[in-house]
Amino acid sequence: MRKYNIVEPEVIVGLGEKTVFSDIDNSYSEILKLHIHLEDWLGDDLVVISNFYVVTDVLKEGLEQSELSGFEFVNIEVTKDECFNINFNKSRAFPSFWGMKITGVKGKDDVYVNSLELNVSEEFMTFLKGEYQVHYLVVNPEYDKELDDFIMSLINRDRNS
Protein backbone atom coordinates (compact mmCIF):
# COMPACT_ATOMS: atom_id res chain seq x y z
CA MET A 1 0.00 0.00 0.00
CA ARG A 2 1.25 3.42 -0.97
CA LYS A 3 2.12 5.93 1.76
CA TYR A 4 1.12 9.56 1.37
CA ASN A 5 1.91 12.82 3.13
CA ILE A 6 -0.40 15.81 3.33
CA VAL A 7 1.48 18.88 2.17
CA GLU A 8 0.74 22.59 2.27
CA PRO A 9 2.81 24.51 -0.28
CA GLU A 10 3.86 28.14 0.01
CA VAL A 11 0.72 30.25 -0.16
CA ILE A 12 0.72 33.12 -2.58
CA VAL A 13 -1.88 35.85 -2.61
CA GLY A 14 -3.11 37.92 -5.45
CA LEU A 15 -5.98 36.20 -7.17
CA GLY A 16 -6.31 38.21 -10.37
CA GLU A 17 -9.50 39.76 -11.65
CA LYS A 18 -9.48 37.53 -14.74
CA THR A 19 -9.87 34.35 -12.65
CA VAL A 20 -13.00 32.39 -13.57
CA PHE A 21 -14.77 30.07 -11.09
CA SER A 22 -17.29 27.36 -11.93
CA ASP A 23 -19.54 28.70 -9.13
CA ILE A 24 -18.87 32.22 -7.89
CA ASP A 25 -20.96 31.64 -4.74
CA ASN A 26 -18.95 28.60 -3.59
CA SER A 27 -15.43 29.23 -2.24
CA TYR A 28 -14.51 25.61 -2.93
CA SER A 29 -15.68 25.66 -6.55
CA GLU A 30 -13.37 24.71 -9.39
CA ILE A 31 -11.20 27.41 -10.91
CA LEU A 32 -11.75 27.30 -14.65
CA LYS A 33 -9.17 29.96 -15.50
CA LEU A 34 -6.53 31.22 -13.10
CA HIS A 35 -5.05 34.71 -13.14
CA ILE A 36 -2.43 35.51 -10.51
CA HIS A 37 -1.53 39.12 -9.76
CA LEU A 38 1.64 38.72 -7.68
CA GLU A 39 2.75 41.10 -4.98
CA ASP A 40 5.48 38.75 -3.79
CA TRP A 41 6.82 35.22 -4.19
CA LEU A 42 9.19 33.62 -1.70
CA GLY A 43 10.71 31.30 -4.28
CA ASP A 44 9.21 27.84 -3.89
CA ASP A 45 8.66 25.79 -7.05
CA LEU A 46 5.29 24.53 -5.78
CA VAL A 47 2.80 27.09 -4.47
CA VAL A 48 -0.93 27.31 -3.86
CA ILE A 49 -3.47 30.07 -4.38
CA SER A 50 -7.14 29.63 -3.54
CA ASN A 51 -7.04 25.81 -3.69
CA PHE A 52 -5.23 25.84 -7.05
CA TYR A 53 -1.70 24.47 -7.28
CA VAL A 54 0.92 26.29 -9.30
CA VAL A 55 4.43 25.19 -10.31
CA THR A 56 7.41 26.89 -11.87
CA ASP A 57 8.50 25.92 -15.34
CA VAL A 58 11.51 24.12 -13.82
CA LEU A 59 9.32 21.85 -11.69
CA LYS A 60 6.86 21.35 -14.55
CA GLU A 61 9.66 20.13 -16.84
CA GLY A 62 11.00 17.82 -14.13
CA LEU A 63 7.59 16.33 -13.43
CA GLU A 64 6.93 15.80 -17.13
CA GLN A 65 10.19 13.83 -17.40
CA SER A 66 9.48 11.78 -14.27
CA GLU A 67 7.42 8.63 -13.81
CA LEU A 68 5.17 10.41 -11.28
CA SER A 69 1.40 10.56 -11.90
CA GLY A 70 -1.81 12.29 -10.88
CA PHE A 71 -1.50 15.73 -12.43
CA GLU A 72 -1.62 17.68 -15.66
CA PHE A 73 -0.56 21.20 -16.50
CA VAL A 74 -2.64 24.12 -17.69
CA ASN A 75 -1.81 27.64 -18.78
CA ILE A 76 -2.39 30.43 -16.29
CA GLU A 77 -2.01 34.18 -16.54
CA VAL A 78 0.53 35.85 -14.26
CA THR A 79 0.89 39.59 -13.80
CA LYS A 80 3.02 41.49 -11.30
CA ASP A 81 1.79 44.18 -8.96
CA GLU A 82 3.69 47.46 -9.07
CA CYS A 83 5.19 46.66 -5.63
CA PHE A 84 6.39 43.20 -6.77
CA ASN A 85 9.91 44.35 -7.68
CA ILE A 86 10.31 45.87 -4.22
CA ASN A 87 9.23 42.66 -2.46
CA PHE A 88 10.80 40.05 -4.74
CA ASN A 89 14.12 38.46 -3.80
CA LYS A 90 16.17 39.20 -6.89
CA SER A 91 18.73 36.46 -6.18
CA ARG A 92 16.58 34.13 -8.29
CA ALA A 93 15.33 34.69 -11.81
CA PHE A 94 11.57 35.11 -12.16
CA PRO A 95 10.18 31.91 -13.74
CA SER A 96 7.16 31.10 -15.84
CA PHE A 97 4.32 29.53 -13.86
CA TRP A 98 1.89 26.75 -14.77
CA GLY A 99 -1.29 25.51 -13.17
CA MET A 100 -0.99 21.96 -11.86
CA LYS A 101 -4.43 20.36 -12.08
CA ILE A 102 -4.61 17.41 -9.70
CA THR A 103 -6.24 14.41 -11.39
CA GLY A 104 -4.86 11.61 -9.23
CA VAL A 105 -6.61 8.82 -7.37
CA LYS A 106 -5.55 7.59 -3.92
CA GLY A 107 -3.66 4.31 -4.08
CA LYS A 108 -3.05 4.61 -7.82
CA ASP A 109 -1.29 7.94 -8.39
CA ASP A 110 1.46 9.92 -6.71
CA VAL A 111 -0.70 12.99 -6.13
CA TYR A 112 -4.36 13.39 -5.22
CA VAL A 113 -6.61 15.84 -3.38
CA ASN A 114 -8.87 14.76 -0.53
CA SER A 115 -11.01 17.30 1.33
CA LEU A 116 -8.96 20.12 -0.19
CA GLU A 117 -5.72 18.61 1.13
CA LEU A 118 -2.88 17.86 -1.26
CA ASN A 119 -1.63 14.32 -0.71
CA VAL A 120 1.67 13.23 -2.23
CA SER A 121 3.43 9.87 -2.27
CA GLU A 122 6.79 9.28 -0.62
CA GLU A 123 8.27 9.13 -4.14
CA PHE A 124 6.82 12.54 -4.95
CA MET A 125 8.24 13.97 -1.69
CA THR A 126 11.69 12.58 -2.45
CA PHE A 127 11.50 14.02 -5.96
CA LEU A 128 10.48 17.48 -4.69
CA LYS A 129 13.09 17.66 -1.97
CA GLY A 130 15.83 16.37 -4.26
CA GLU A 131 16.20 19.20 -6.75
CA TYR A 132 13.54 21.83 -6.16
CA GLN A 133 12.93 24.84 -3.94
CA VAL A 134 10.33 23.87 -1.32
CA HIS A 135 11.53 25.82 1.71
CA TYR A 136 8.01 26.82 2.76
CA LEU A 137 6.34 23.46 2.14
CA VAL A 138 4.70 22.14 5.32
CA VAL A 139 4.47 18.35 5.55
CA ASN A 140 1.66 16.73 7.56
CA PRO A 141 0.50 20.00 9.15
CA GLU A 142 -1.66 20.29 12.21
CA TYR A 143 -5.07 21.14 10.80
CA ASP A 144 -7.23 23.87 12.28
CA LYS A 145 -10.68 23.67 10.65
CA GLU A 146 -11.94 26.82 12.39
CA LEU A 147 -9.01 28.85 11.06
CA ASP A 148 -9.49 27.46 7.56
CA ASP A 149 -13.22 28.26 7.66
CA PHE A 150 -12.44 31.81 8.81
CA ILE A 151 -9.93 32.33 5.99
CA MET A 152 -12.39 30.98 3.41
CA SER A 153 -15.08 33.36 4.73
CA LEU A 154 -12.70 36.27 4.12
CA ILE A 155 -11.98 35.06 0.60
CA ASN A 156 -15.72 34.74 -0.07
CA ARG A 157 -16.33 38.22 1.30
CA ASP A 158 -13.66 39.67 -1.00
CA ARG A 159 -15.06 37.82 -4.03
CA ASN A 160 -18.58 39.05 -3.40
CA SER A 161 -17.68 42.69 -2.81
pLDDT at 25: 66
pLDDT confidence bin for 74, thresholds 50/70/90:
very high
Name residues whose C-beta falls within 8 Å of residue 23's C-beta, 6 or more positions apart in sequence. 29, 30
Quick: pLDDT tens for 31-48.
788 889 998 888 899 999
Kindly state the percentage of the chain with pLDDT values over 70.
88
Quick: pLDDT tens for 99-143.
999 999 999 999 999 988 999 999 999 999 999 999 999 998 875
pLDDT at 34: 86
- Regarding pTM above 0.85, the answer is no
**CB-based burial, 61-87: b 16+ in 10 Å, e otherwise:** ebbeeeebbbbebeebebebeeebeee
Number of C-beta neighbours around residue 30 at 10 A: 12
Report the relative pairing of strands 117-121 and 71-74 from DSSP bridges.
unpaired
